[in-house]
């Protein structure tokens, strides 16, 4: 499973918020959604990334598609 995260920093080395934007079964779909999120426009202190989570087939209360 691949998880798309949005990380908002409040200072250079301090994380203010981490949000899960979506979960995906394929890396290519996650990366595509990451690019789409980055193209929308964000503040400077925001980072997006796809992280592989191994050993989890499906998380409870989390869909396998983007929210919204």
Which tops the pLDDT comparison, 37 or 67?
A: 37
Global pTM reads: 0.73
User: How far is the C-alpha of 57 from the C-alpha of 60, rounded, in Å?
Assistant: 10
Quick one: which of 7, 32, 35 has its CA closest to 20? 7
Quick one: which of 18, 22, 16, 53 has its CA closest to 37? 22
CB 2 within 8 A of CB 60: no
Q: What percent of the chain has pLDDT over 90?
A: 56
């Amino acid at each position: 499973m691949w998880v798309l995260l949005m990380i908002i920093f409040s200072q250079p080395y301090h994380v203010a918020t981490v949000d899960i934007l979506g979960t995906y079964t394929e890396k290519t779909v996650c990366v595509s959604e990451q690019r789409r999120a980055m193209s929308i426009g964000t503040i400077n202190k925001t980072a997006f990334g796809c992280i592989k989570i191994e050993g989890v087939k499906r998380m409870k209360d989390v869909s396998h598609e983007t929210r919204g």
